Amino acid sequence: MLALVKRSLTAAAVLLGAATLAAPVYADHDHNHNRLAVNKVEGSLSVMVLGSGGPMAVSNGRASAGYLIFTDGKPRILMDVGGGTFKSLAMSGTIIPNLDTILLSHLHIDHTADLSAMIKTIYFHARGAGIARTAPINIYGPDVGGPNNYFKDANGNLTTVHQYPSTTEYANDHYAMPNGAERYLYVFAPAIDTTPAGDHGAFKWTATDLPSVPLLPPAAPGLPPQPAPVHTVLSTPDGLVIKSIGVIHGPVPAVGYRIEYKGHSIVYSGDTSSKTPNMVTLASGADVLIYDTSIMDVAPSPVFQALHTTPMRMGQVAAAAGVKTLVLSHITPITEPNLDAIKSEIRAQGFTGRIRVAHDLKVFNLDDVDHDRH
């Protein structure tokens, strides 16, 4: 009898394993088809919010920071992948078998925690779509930054140990052979492939470090430091352009991003105190500016003021940049109950564009940003 139970359990395990390898459920197979966020995407450039919250789990269920960029209705770029963004992707009804660009603003866990989960689902989605992936997944993020990115010893002296790795080191620690913690992906990716013999996909990835120092040395003695220039990350034949700039996030190497396509632009601050003109430069004339909304003007401590942008400064940046729509995101328990006051403070700085509050699975279509979907 015991042997029969064991055989039954083994058979059930095999069937369960086979079921987990089945093709993903596509949006038009879902009984809530019309309610899925993916079906609200339209036009040439769109952004879907996968995570609008901060680093702490809260009862309102906001995932940590993450956004999915669509061009011509197709998912193309993941921009930060904080905890909970994997579930948001699933709930959105979106499949991402061809997605090959991941942008990380910085390497805090609430912006990176679901990176490997997203990479793994890319391969499962490709399998379900009958696609053998040959293009690598390209991961972009900050370099190791400047002298602030070092631990200090007990006497307050800088050591030679970085607090944060570069994006390349971070990706290597996860995926590189032979020592990456998730090196099993080199076997996993081709093992789940069911395309014809000789067409099997393979796990491939690249990592690129982007300049993250927000201020350059003075042009001459006695002059102030110079703001960092905008860096072109990627330019594709179909007109997609991704740009970045170093921003201040305390000692953390960090970058903001600008995505341009067919005359539209989305700018993302990541986390930053905005204490340089860099975000004004990056966001100039943008259709949508997604901003770090973590603190109030009276912050709990100077530490948070060094890391995040106050509503007053956010309004100054948005007004000076002349953006059309300002999206409040990375919302925390500090700012959630004060969103009306934050909007008022932003308006007091002269910003006359639209102000929207991000929610998980909200979609902004830039062809019709006046009528963005709720």
154 domain residue, yes or no: no
357 domain residue, yes or no: yes
CATH code (residue 231): 3.60.15.10
45 domain residue, yes or no: yes
Average pLDDT over residues 58-65: 96
pLDDT of res. 198? 62
Tracing tokens 């003007």 back to the chain, one arrives at: 297
Taking 50 as the threshold, does the pLDDT of residue 371 lie above it? Answer: no
Q: Which of 61-75, 184-198, 234-248, 309-323 has the lowest mean pLDDT?
A: 184-198
Q: How many domains does the chain have?
A: 1
Taking 50 as the threshold, does the pLDDT of residue 29 lie above it? Answer: no
Instruction: State how far the Cα of 164 lies from the Cα of 145, in Å rounded to an integer.
Output: 9
Q: How confident is the model at residue 363 (pLDDT cuts 50, 70, 90)?
A: very high
Q: Which domain holds residue 183?
A: 36-148+160-214+227-371
pTM, two decimals, is: 0.89
pLDDT of res. 100? 96
125 domain residue, yes or no: yes
30 domain residue, yes or no: no
274 domain residue, yes or no: yes
197 domain residue, yes or no: yes
* pLDDT tens by residue, 120-172: 999 999 999 988 888 999 999 999 998 888 888 888 888 889 999 999 999 99
201 domain residue, yes or no: yes
Average pLDDT over residues 179-201: 86
Instruction: State how far the Cα of 170 lies from the Cα of 151, in Å rounded to an integer.
Output: 17
Question: Which residues, in sequence order, are CB contacts of 88 under 8 Å at separation 6+?
Answer: 49, 50, 51, 63, 66, 360, 361
